[in-house]
Structure 1
């Protein structure tokens, strides 16, 4: 089975994910995506993005005390690493090293004591944890610096923003962790490293994998007709390959309906007959990198008969990214937007009418989010009526629209704080009027000065297409819009963190996956709290945070996530405080949610079925983290 990498591999093997790789030709090579985090290592838990449940894997449970500051982890008994201990006298065969609390404590202590382990997971863990203690062979206690009900999800949930993988103490304990390449990696997963080359990484199925022997219930699975849950089993693929291909090659490595099988693959076709026609590729891709809507459409059409599938019907929403798109608005009375090189005189700040919340709310009402979403898709103009494939879906709230966030999204909608999928010109008109603006020659103006905005966006991206669609709408509505397309380095290094923009098209509410606090806290930092020399990516529009918002977020910070009476539901106190804070966002509108952007990964069903789809949900992002649950659902196509 073959998975596609979007970026090249490092020339030499390095499986130390706790230290980021150096750029090669301006690109970070694939170290986190090349299969080790996916199938060789295993997480303590899986965050189910449909239910919000933290499902057990290496860990059985992780519980906080009443203060949310002390957490207790219980790891699963019987887990083993893939390597063997020295054989003892009279033993019939050598045993594998056990995975125990010692490994968890060792990895944690190693990270806490070494600031050179600078991967995001390591830095986040150090910032959160004060100390780690072994209670017994299967139990670990974490004492945090501050109460944090999200600690388990943030650090061990195996989701979009990384998960702390436990390393084998018996391999790492005598190494300089910041320099150790771990070129012969050892994990607890069902696959072991077979080969690493500059072009691909190959893993072989481990028939002695502990998980198959344990046969525990597959987390998140649905029971069969008899009410029985499927058990974890040895995955069917005997070999997994992660390989880098140039983007133009991708579609050539997927099935084609007009091509025949290579000689020997189809007993009904003679080899000589095969040789007279174009052949199907023998070097298959089973799972692609992230595709553009056009690439995905072409792949699906070329495959025919369901040979290439994505999350859903291409005319329906795709699986969404974890970061919904939005329009960030600088709320300061004056702003700087013109780029200057070091040593050049900076631009004199210009007046910023968008410091008025009435204008920000009017702008939100003017936006047709459905039309913005259409800009992300591929529109086939050769059919009548025209059809758009893989359009982004309108956001109703600031949150990523996963099932795990559904209770919070529904609460915001029920409170009437949601945003409409289409424009509401009459609501916008009333707000403009209240702010003193009226149409003059088709343009909104006040005191003879036309209302205008400059929107920064990263050039050459799908977001730039969204920004163009926004420009078209707002210009037609009577606002002068300038799109400032910028290189990625300038956007993230000069413009956004320093608030050097009037509006910025991006995704700065990113964070929440199963609770609302993580995204909302990004707007709780007042401008005075920003380090002027090294600012963060939080509240980059320098919104003067109202006390009501700060107070609500402060209360949310330590509230448990689940209802004590029904763990399947969110804590009602958390929901109530979230709505208090969201009311302030609705009134002030420091940013405007826009769309949920699709992340399109194509799967080849010629050899394997059971890939994640909307009908059988699962995380299709094979480059984000582990794919153990994905592999459990795959079945080989029989000849």
Structure 2
């Protein structure tokens, strides 16, 4: 790749970002961390995260709003932050959370149980606030009560051992964020803009525009005063919209950015050639960190001939996952071993599946695939395609056209199937049609997606998406995109019964890996979907001014700096002297 943007042009982006705050204080570049922002801030003066369209990854939940807990993807531990601990009852329908003593909002007011109860009740009592986190709280929580200033009890509608990690632990992207009662009281939560915003974090809001947000360190931060944690070293954080891969590449290569959004392997290697101080999660291939949403081939199990488990199994055996890695992903990922994202916290479950003999091979087994297809009555014709009763074996694979990753992967898969004797055709459709019509209503034979997404520290979040309770006829919307395969029958029922048992078990139950393997035998035999490769984010991180970035060798957590756990990243950064 050629980095064609001129230094003058990209410098103007950084200059624009810093000029808005110049009157507040003069901060040197070496005291500033500049993060890539991959989207426009539509309303820079709206910090009501409850309302649709209001984003928080421009620093609001990375620097200002702190979570109660942070899930460690490596260990699976729920690490306390604003909270100091929790306790659940034996039936997992009641959780008592203890808050950390001495926490303050940036205006000096105490953060306590009143704020937690107030914010949760806002979600419970106002159905018009529609953020995903608020809707989840409404679905799960019957009531919340203050025990004392530092203790809150949640009473759930039903047992849920995953309640805290799902809602307050930054399991994926964010968490339910607590707001200051002394500012929100009396406001309409559906329309209140919460500007200027405050939080408990070590940075306070300085300025924002549609393409940037700037945050400056609060040296009176509660965490340093109480001994919870030292002040972070950066004096200023800037979240800057770069406008695409080429711009972010030039910015980080010329030391005008410290952490960039996803780039291709070719772009990363060009950046690193120009600036050897730029690193990634891995120092060599696959470079990228695994994203929670592993990629897979969805199959409509109601459509012949794919209503046959043998035919679905044959497709899995035909697929060369290594070729997808090398061609479609340019080597920036790895083949999936199971349905799960391959994090350290998921290792016990992945290992159990593999030990039981249900792990996936990264290489094809064309002989075994042919035996399965021929066993269903298909035979190759003179053109090399399988045929039965005058009908050629074919399949249309729908794919979202929004990303070259998606279309390139399905081009590879379609070519593999075609070479093996199945006429396969890629059917690209635009994003809205794919998610609004094709997947939820089952109007596909096969499609490319990641609907097993969810499990990052325990197995139920992903496995629970394929139980028979979510089976609906083709033409009806699958609830929450669950079981879009419409997988049903005795095997699916046996699988569902085991998964329902897993759902009841507390996190860390030593019997769960064995239950996972027991349930997985039905997935392996019936293949209602086919895991392909891990999803990956290749995130360039610049060590010219700052070290301490999360990597596979410095694995305190994953590197997705637009998530709510970014507090950990910022606190781990050390200034290069």
- Contact kept? 1:159, 1:624, Cα under 8 Å: no
Q: Which residue of 2 aligns with 1:449?
A: 391
Q: What is the rounded CA distance, in whole Å, between the counterparts of 1:440 and 1:531 in structure 2?
A: 32
Q: Which residue of 2 aligns with 1:622?
A: 561
**Is the aligned partner of 1:36 residue 2:60?**
yes
Structure 2: runs of 5 or more not aligned: 1-32
**CA deviation string 1:398-423 (max 9, x = no partner):** 01111111111111111111110110
Choose from 230, 233, 248 the match for 1:233: 230
Once the two structures are superposed, the pairs formed by residues 327-342 of structure 1 within 5 Å of their partners are 327-333=297-303
CA 1:530/1:132 → structure 2, altered by over 3 Å: closer, same or farther? farther
C-alpha deviation, 1:191, in angstroms: 0.3
**CA deviation string 1:429-474 (max 9, x = no partner):** 2222322223223222223322111100011510111111111211
- Contact kept? 2:470, 2:482, Cα under 8 Å: no
Q: What is the rounded CA distance, in whole Å, between the counterparts of 2:448 and 2:88 in structure 1?
A: 38
- Contact kept? 1:527, 1:543, Cα under 8 Å: no
Once the two structures are superposed, the pairs formed by residues 360-379 of structure 1 within 5 Å of their partners are 360-378=312-330
Q: Which residue of 1 aligns with 2:504?
A: 558
Structure 1: runs of 5 or more not aligned: 22-29, 84-95, 217-231, 257-280, 334-351, 379-389, 563-570
Q: What is the rounded CA distance, in whole Å, between the counterparts of 2:488 and 2:477 in structure 1?
A: 19
TM-score, normalised relative to structure 1: 0.82
Q: Which residue of 2 aligns with 1:267?
A: none
Q: Which residue of 1 aligns with 2:286?
A: 316
- Which segment drifts farther, 498-507 or 59-68? 59-68
CA 1:512/1:628 → structure 2, altered by over 3 Å: closer, same or farther? same
Q: Which residue of 2 aligns with 1:423?
A: 364
CA 1:312/1:324 → structure 2, altered by over 3 Å: closer, same or farther? same
SS in 2 for 1:409: helix
- Contact kept? 2:471, 2:487, Cα under 8 Å: no
Q: What is the rounded CA distance, in whole Å, between the counterparts of 1:285 and 1:530 in structure 2?
A: 50
Q: Which residue of 1 aligns with 2:11?
A: none
Q: What is the rounded CA distance, in whole Å, between the counterparts of 1:161 and 1:123 in structure 2?
A: 16
SS in 2 for 1:463: helix
C-alpha deviation, 1:526, in angstroms: 4.5
- Contact kept? 1:60, 1:75, Cα under 8 Å: yes
Choose from 403, 413, 421 the match for 1:470: 413
- Which segment drifts farther, 174-183 or 294-303? 294-303
SS in 2 for 1:560: coil
Higher helix share: 2
**Is the aligned partner of 1:246 residue 2:243?**
yes
Choose from 503, 512, 535 the match for 1:597: 535
* Greater relative contact order structure (CA < 8 Å, 6+ sep): 2
C-alpha deviation, 1:503, in angstroms: 0.1
Q: What is the rounded CA distance, in whole Å, between the counterparts of 1:361 and 1:255 in structure 2?
A: 46
- Contact kept? 2:287, 2:538, Cα under 8 Å: no
**CA deviation string 1:19-47 (max 9, x = no partner):** 122xxxxxxxx722110111101000010
Once the two structures are superposed, the pairs formed by residues 51-450 of structure 1 within 5 Å of their partners are 51-83=75-107, 96-216=108-228, 232-247=229-244, 248-256=246-254, 284-304=256-276, 307-333=277-303, 352-378=304-330, 390-441=331-382, 442-450=384-392
Once the two structures are superposed, the pairs formed by residues 428-577 of structure 1 within 5 Å of their partners are 428-441=369-382, 442-461=384-403, 462-526=405-469, 528-529=471-472, 534-536=477-479, 537-545=481-489, 546-562=492-508, 571-577=509-515
Q: CA RMSD in A?
A: 1.6
How many residues are aligned here? 538
**CA deviation string 1:159-218 (max 9, x = no partner):** 3243111111111111111111111111000000011223311101011111112223xx
Q: What is the rounded CA distance, in whole Å, between the counterparts of 2:273 and 2:160 in structure 1?
A: 48
Q: What is the rounded CA distance, in whole Å, between the counterparts of 1:480 and 1:399 in structure 2?
A: 29
